[in-house]
């Protein structure tokens, strides 16, 4: 079989279609919604109308046996505008949790409400991080206690920095069922729309991704039906029994979700970096100083060369990890973490360099590079900081429990 890195016809069509939406809808609206710092429901509704927001789109992208359709689509969306794109893509993390931990029946029941419909779009939230448990998922304090009399799980705790937290129709919440087992004693639960006891006091003000809603979520005696335990009671009991017997058990709920999503998050960072690189390149070609375009200065040209090289290198790592994940190849050397780590750090470096190339103009809001610079920083922080990604990689390549 001939090896090729060329995109096939379906992937090329997907890339061009999403790019058209990003260029025609997201890019022109990015500055407005960044300044408003509000959930862009009209943009989400337009994405639903054209077929970019919904489970069918995710299922079709995931069905690509190469694994590339999801990162291709995300790179183009986030090239348009990261804040608006995250308002569209944020729901997919909760869907990934349901897909990764749930049964087919749960997938059928809970995924449609995550999106709503074209006339009334909805969003979903994945709630894992806590004030004292970010990278250290073993420190999760949110508890889930089973009430046999009512066949309900009772959730109590606080979640932090949840995308779509509080405004979501469906919240997927990780909680500890048996704290003595650490991460192996945790499970994920669906909190259906309108469930009493779940609250979120306010939207958090952020450095970047301002159009995307981020909030703390409080759970006060939140009761959900037994069927809302992702994977079901039998699977949980079997996993807990193995953990108590010190046997190898399936991975922790949050980590499974993050492993599925890391290459996709890396692709988002690449989209932001590519937007900044292309803008800086165009600016350098047209900006004249000392009688010639600044792109003819070696310092500028070399910076642009490095930016392009780093973006391409990061994309190859993302594509490899996406292919491995889709084809059930183990991340023996932390390849998923490699892709997210490299892409996130490239996004920060490239957007910073783009601001520098524009000089004083790059510091002004009339040029989008300052917004992309702010947006990029989150990619070295959320879904595993750069330090945590290095820890994962180090443990994988050394075989030692590095701390």
Catalytic residues: 383
Q: How far apart are CA 301 and CA 284, in angstroms?
A: 9
Question: Residues with Cβ < 8 Å from 252, sequence gap 6 or more?
Answer: 137, 183, 184, 186
Structural contact between residues 287 and 293, judged by C-beta atoms closer than 8 angstroms: yes
Q: How far apart are CA 9 and CA 22, in angstroms?
A: 20
Structural contact between residues 166 and 217, judged by C-beta atoms closer than 8 angstroms: yes
- At 215 the three-state DSSP class reads strand
Strand pairing report for 124-127 and 170-176? parallel
Residue given tokens 């890019």 in the structure block: 27
Radius of gyration of the chain (CA): 22
Structural contact between residues 215 and 162, judged by C-beta atoms closer than 8 angstroms: yes
Structural contact between residues 181 and 244, judged by C-beta atoms closer than 8 angstroms: yes
Q: What is the largest CA-CA distance in the chain?
A: 82
Structural contact between residues 65 and 56, judged by C-beta atoms closer than 8 angstroms: no
Residue 373, both tokens: 């610079």
CB atoms within 10 A of CB 332: 9
Measured CA distances, 47 to 57, 137, 344 (Å): 11, 33, 25
- At 275 the three-state DSSP class reads helix
């Amino acid at each position: 079989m001939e090896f090729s890195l060329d995109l096939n016809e379906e992937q090329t069509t997907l890339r061009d279609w999403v790019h058209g939406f990003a260029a025609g809808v997201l890019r022109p609206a990015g500055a407005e919604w960044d300044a408003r710092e509000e959930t862009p429901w009209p943009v989400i509704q337009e994405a639903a109308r054209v077929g970019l927001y919904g489970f069918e789109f995710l299922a079709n992208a995931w069905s690509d046996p190469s694994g590339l359709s999801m990162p291709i689509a995300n790179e183009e969306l986030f090239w348009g505008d990261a804040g608006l794109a995250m308002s569209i893509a944020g729901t997919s993390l909760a869907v990934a949790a349901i897909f990764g931990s749930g049964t087919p029946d749960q997938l059928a029941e809970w995924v449609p409400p995550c999106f709503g419909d074209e006339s009334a779009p909805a969003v979903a939230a994945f709630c894992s991080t806590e004030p004292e448990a970010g990278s250290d998922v073993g420190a999760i304090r949110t508890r889930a206690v089973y009430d046999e009399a009512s066949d309900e799980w009772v959730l109590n705790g606080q979640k932090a920095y949840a995308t779509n937290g509080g405004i979501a129709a469906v919240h997927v919440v990780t909680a500890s069922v048996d704290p003595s087992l650490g991460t192996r004693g945790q499970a994920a639960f669906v909190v259906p729309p309108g469930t009493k006891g779940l609250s979120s006091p306010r939207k958090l003000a952020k450095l970047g991704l301002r159009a995307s809603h981020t909030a703390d979520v409080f759970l006060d005696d939140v009761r959900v039906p037994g069927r809302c335990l992702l994977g079901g009671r039998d699977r949980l009991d079997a996993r807990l029994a193995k953990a108590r017997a010190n046997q190898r058990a399936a991975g922790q709920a949050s980590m499974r979700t993050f492993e599925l999503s890391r290459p996709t998050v890396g692709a988002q960072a690449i989209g932001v970096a590519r937007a900044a690189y292309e803008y800086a390149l165009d600016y350098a070609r047209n900006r004249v100083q000392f009688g010639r375009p600044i792109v003819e200065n070696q310092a500028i040209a070399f910076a642009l060369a490095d930016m392009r090289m780093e973006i391409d290198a990061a994309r190859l790592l993302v594509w490899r990890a996406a292919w491995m994940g889709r084809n059930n190849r183990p991340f023996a050397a932390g390849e998923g973490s490699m892709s997210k780590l490299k892409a996130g750090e490239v996004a920060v470096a490239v957007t910073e360099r783009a601001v520098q190339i524009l000089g004083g103009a790059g510091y002004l809001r009339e040029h989008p590079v300052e917004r992309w610079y702010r947006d990029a920083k989150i990619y070295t922080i959320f879904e595993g900081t750069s330090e945590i990604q290095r820890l994962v990689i180090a443990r994988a390549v050394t075989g030692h429990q590095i701390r």
